[in-house]
Structure 1
């Protein structure tokens, strides 16, 4: 497995406890995002490095950067049609392009000039952003918020088969191993992907997304 993993307790002690942060595994070239699918979709993507015809290009597809948020949403890979978990190495410039074009899924105060302006933007945008409570391995909410990005239309075609993806890895066996540890409540032995807050250096994008940065006051 090419995904870098580390001790969950060690990582959790270093993570921000509150605020909106893009917790992710990343380097200078790429950012890892997660999705859950039926096994045949995951298998094709891992073998070919892009998403094939079984993947729906006609609706919005949501990606998550937080592994534990993905585990919560998929119930550790046991929900129907979410039995297979993939890690997608998305080009860093593509990820930043997605963030720069994201519109909030619900109207936030203090970001757009008016609800009407937001409504026009969201009707014409191919990218949604949503902040939800992150979760611990047992599925309990934590104060920190996790990001979800919904993509559709031209953005989804670029993501799925247009060259934005560097590689795809089916991490379902790893998820199954860690699920057993969670079910045994042996959290001291749990290993999760190595994650840290992803920096968004463009102040306009940072503030429009209502992100928090250590050492900076919250924007909302």
Structure 2
């Protein structure tokens, strides 16, 4: 049985992949530059999600306005864990949440057709005071997954979910350091 709260991600010894969906102008500029540049906003919180399926639900498979492009954002695990170390759960005291540099919330994980599952995926909001650090120091690569997303969506719509799953990025349990367990655990 899958634990209710567990970070699952595509990662290696040095990096973790998180997903974001953007308008074409933001995605194109970032991909051309190899990093986030204007028109990406450096003045507001940006949410990163290690769950591919949750972002597919959120962006409606890259069909939602302003979220037509899906990027795989490879960032350092050091940066990911630094962000988590500064995080406050969005269910915490509102004053603490308002002061936090990073927000963490847990939402039901989603099936390929968007149904809520019985376990949760983490969303991490990088606050505006850390955006430059995220963009300039922690992000090490950007990949446009939009063609893959569109192909998987078409397969799902055609009733070929097994074929679609072959296009999903691999995700496995991310080993949360003991020092961060209390920060990311809703119960704790």
What TM-score do you get using the length of structure 2 for normalisation? 0.93
1:173 aligns with 2:108: no
Unaligned 5+ segments in structure 2 are: none
1:195 aligns with 2:167: no
How many pairs were matched up? 186
Name the Cα RMSD after superposition: 1.5
- CA distance in structure 1 between the partners assigned to 2:38 and 2:28 by the alignment: 12
In the alignment, which residue of structure 1 is the partner of 2:63? 78
- CA distance in structure 2 between the partners assigned to 1:139 and 1:153 by the alignment: 30
- CA distance in structure 2 between the partners assigned to 1:50 and 1:188 by the alignment: 33
Q: After TM superposition, give the deviation of residue 17 of structure 1 in Å.
A: 3.0
Q: Report which structure shows greater RCO (CA 8 Å, sep ≥6).
A: 1
- CA distance in structure 1 between the partners assigned to 2:29 and 2:10 by the alignment: 23
- CA distance in structure 2 between the partners assigned to 1:195 and 1:138 by the alignment: 18
- CA distance in structure 2 between the partners assigned to 1:185 and 1:150 by the alignment: 34
Q: Deviation per CA, 1:152-193: give whole Å up to 9, x if none.
A: 222111112x22111101111111110101111211112210
Aligned partners of 1:132 and 1:145 also within 8 Å: yes
Classify the secondary structure of the residue corresponding to 1:163. Answer: helix
In the alignment, which residue of structure 1 is the partner of 2:19? 34
Q: After TM superposition, give the deviation of residue 207 of structure 1 in Å.
A: 2.5
Aligned partners of 1:64 and 1:149 also within 8 Å: yes
- CA distance in structure 2 between the partners assigned to 1:153 and 1:101 by the alignment: 13
1:147 aligns with 2:122: yes
Classify the secondary structure of the residue corresponding to 2:32. Answer: helix
What TM-score do you get using the length of structure 1 for normalisation? 0.80
In the alignment, which residue of structure 2 is the partner of 1:100? 85
Structure number with larger C-alpha Rg: 1
Aligned partners of 1:46 and 1:167 also within 8 Å: no
- CA distance in structure 2 between the partners assigned to 1:119 and 1:139 by the alignment: 30
- CA distance in structure 2 between the partners assigned to 1:60 and 1:39 by the alignment: 19
Unaligned 5+ segments in structure 1 are: 1-15, 108-117, 212-218
1:207 aligns with 2:152: no
In the alignment, which residue of structure 1 is the partner of 2:49? 64
Aligned partners of 1:101 and 1:127 also within 8 Å: yes
